[in-house]
Structure 1
Amino acid sequence: MPRKPIRLPVVLSLEEITTFFDSIPSLKHRTILMVAYAAGLRVSEVVHLKVTDIDSKRMVIRVNQGKNRKDRYVMLSPRLLEVLRTYWHDAHPRDWLFPGDIPGHPITRTAVARICALARQRSGITKPVTPHSLRHAFATHLLETGTDVRRIQLLMGHRSLATTSRYLRIATSTVCATASPFDLLPHPAPIPSPPPAPEYF
């Protein structure tokens, strides 16, 4: 059987992430996608967050029953905390952090995907952008700033380190910063130019 081709995800740059967020006029919608990027959460994890999952004293976000039915904690960015407090004062969510149109239910994954698609159109970004793209960007940007792969594995909730290690192939600033062994070779002595030929032979 032919092997299935392995395709690397397209990753947004920091500048593109900024442009993307700036194109979202709704505070609620912008906060949802900021949480996905700032904490590296899956869209299913973002929509199921509750107000009580935000622990500002310990500066962590509790992810209840993520993929593989595992609980985990991720970092709560101080900047994200400011955004969340602004959103809370505006919307006053009681149970679900991001309530949906149906009372007592959170916003749906489909609704978040639509929000993301509309934001991509408004931003003018030509790369494909989905809620999961923000998770890819989270892991890649952490690697590029020197975060250990094992720590990223814990934050992402990956069962296998091999899953996290694939981001090593797309962390371009890390890859391109690696010196080639060619640069370690001694420089050859310059070849002297031959003397001019005499006129008589």
Structure 2
Amino acid sequence: MNNVKTFLNSFLEYLQIEKNYSKYTIVCYEQDTAFFIEFLKEEGIDCLQDVTYSDVRIFLTRLYDKGYSKRSIARKISSLRSFYRFMLREKMVKENPFSLVSLPKKEHKNPKFLYEEEVEKLFEASDLSTPLGQRDQAILELMYATGIRVSECAKIHLPDIDFSFRTILIHGKGNKQRYVPFGSYAKSALEKYIEDGRTELLQISSSDTKTLFLNHRGGPLTTRGIRLIIDRLIKNTAETVHISPHVLRHTFATHMLNEGADLRTVQELLGHEHLSTTQIYTHVTKERLRTIYMNHHPRA
């Protein structure tokens, strides 16, 4: 296809430099665009400039026929709309065939979270007499106390933690930074782990890494490693089934709103760029308020 590599590379460079998107997000855009380009080859369309609205409709029909979810289709449309918007700006094409396409309505699912009783069981699961048990406890307490992402937890270094003010500098998506506070339980768990467990783990590798959480070999614990730890602990203790390690973040947000925190504060703590992303948790809290009302109001 004519100039497709040049167009795509320019677009990906734009996402990285101008939009400051994360590597993961850029890879998603690249995959979505490559998928569409493969479709064009199958249809015998040689130029990106020749794509029409009719071609896009055929592409969407193909996606539905292959059984893609509404969420996946919406993401592909959004990626390709951005791709053509960029090419239009750079005068690589004359029109954006995706501009008239509406995104399929997403399937709204309330985020799963742990009830307070389940959280308490989770905090009793680790063996605090071992270095790994102290590490796991610190991970759980910190993630529940702050609502940070698993990937953000893996990036924490010792200098990021301010114990006097009980705040941590978090390195979030798109290289955005934010400070989040943590409570007394997380503080105690972190101090115990850093003074005891982490020191022992560090001796295994003879390393001087500043990464907060270490694996059993004394090296930095990866995002995947933290996911496996949380997943194992949740499966062993929680009554709720089929939930992901991301549930601690959902639990943090839900419990904060249930206790009266305002939406803007929770948005800032979670590092959400848009308030609409945080609003998904209000569906859960509304259900709780309705239950309380129905159970306690004399004329409910």
Residue 108 of structure 1 is matched in structure 2 by 222
Q: 1:69 aligns with which of 175, 190, 194?
A: 175
Q: Which residue of 1 aligns with 2:259?
A: 145
Report the Cα offset of residue 176 of structure 1. Answer: 3.1
Q: Is 2:197 the partner of 1:82?
A: no
Name stretches of at least 5 consecutive residues in structure 2 with no aligned partner. 1-102, 128-132, 203-208
Unaligned runs of 5+ residues in structure 1 are 186-201
Per the alignment, residue 194 of structure 1 pairs with none
Q: Provide the residue aligned with 1:44 in structure 2.
A: 151
1:27 equivalent among 130, 134, 150: 134
Task: State the secondary structure of the residue aligned to 1:107.
Answer: coil
Give the distance between the partners of 2:183 and 2:191, measured in 1 at CA.
Answer: 12
**Residue 125 (1) aligns with residue 227 (2):** no
> 1:9–1:136: 8 Å Cα contact kept in structure 2?
yes
| 1:136-187 Cα deviation digits (max 9, x unpaired) | 00000000000010000110000001111110001243343457xx9889xx
Name the CA distance, whole Å, in 2 between partners of 1:55 and 1:46.
15
Corresponding residue SS for 1:158: coil
CA RMSD across the alignment: 2.5
Q: Quote the sequence identity (%).
A: 31
Separation in 1 of the partners of 2:240 and 2:252?
A: 19
SS at match of 1:170: helix
Distance 2:115 2:139 in 1: 19
Aligned to 2:280: 166
If the length of structure 1 is used for normalisation, what is the TM-score? 0.80
2:81 aligned with 1:5, yes or no? no
Separation of aligned partners in 2, 1:124 and 1:14: 11
Q: Give the drift of 1:130.
A: 2.6
Q: Which protein has greater RCO, CA pairs closer than 8 Å, 6+ apart?
A: 1
- The aligned length equals 182
TM-score by structure 2 length?
0.55
8 Å CA contact retained: 1:42, 1:131 = no
SS of residue in 2 equivalent to 1:73:
strand
> CA 1:79/1:124 → structure 2, altered by over 3 Å: closer, same or farther?
closer
2: distance between equivalents of 1:164 and 1:145? 16
Match of 1:143, SS state, is: helix
